[in-house]
Amino acid sequence: MAGSILAVDIGNTNIVMSLHDGQNWGEALRVKTKSKKAVTEVCSVLSSMDKWSKAVVSSVVPNLTGSVIEAVKTIGGVSPVVVGKDIETGLNKESIPAEIGADILCNLIAAHKLYPDEYVTVADFGTAFTTETVSPSGDVLGVTIGPGMMTSVKALFENTAQLPEIRLDIPNTVMGRDTVASIRAGVIYGFIGQLKEIVDKVEAEVGHKVIVIATGGFSKYLEGHIYVNRADVKHTLEGARIACILNS
């Protein structure tokens, strides 16, 4: 629809595409990043969507970035903003690390926009589990990176003889009574413990309480949790949208 912004987030597991009409996000459409026909499938999805007037691409998969940018140009007729440390972000440019990922940068952009007067830590539960922290002055303070929930489950499955590959779900108790419940408890509560420890360390280092935002495909397990102030699966897309506005 006229005036809409298309955001494309090329992640390690999925390529996510969604339209924002100025007030709300539409449905998030996904293509598997490792599909042999990923670019063709992206083109098919883009062709099925309503028209957009602006576009933005965030990518952590360099070999797909150029093809997706060209698809957005060809199908939508507009050149997308490409998220990177050299564009306008609303953050202190000198504080942005040289090796920062586009997804992490999007998370920080949205966090600082939402809470401009606070220290904010974003916990992104994707293929990797990352935390990134921004100060009230827009300084990028730093990042942690570790294996994500399903990455951990797959490693457990691939490196043990008797443990099954499972679908993650919220456990009823931390004390599992069968293998599936035990793995779920270990993974879910283990990651909650990681987040708590990281947030405690961040608060000790900055000398201030931080706002915690959870995002990524598995952030739903943290919604309403005592350590999380906000859970939003589209937080990364929102950061990309803000970057698009700042650079259009």
Residues 6+ apart with CB under 8 A from 122: 107, 108, 110, 111, 130, 131, 132, 133, 212, 213, 214, 215, 235
Cα 77 to Cα 54: distance, rounded to the nearest angstrom: 9
State the catalytic residues: 103
Cα 128 to Cα 166: distance, rounded to the nearest angstrom: 18
Cα 198 to Cα 208: distance, rounded to the nearest angstrom: 14
Q: Which residues of 91-106 are buried (b: 16+ CB within 10 A; e: fewer)?
A: beeeebeeeebbbbbb
Cα 94 to Cα 111: distance, rounded to the nearest angstrom: 18
DSSP state of 245: H
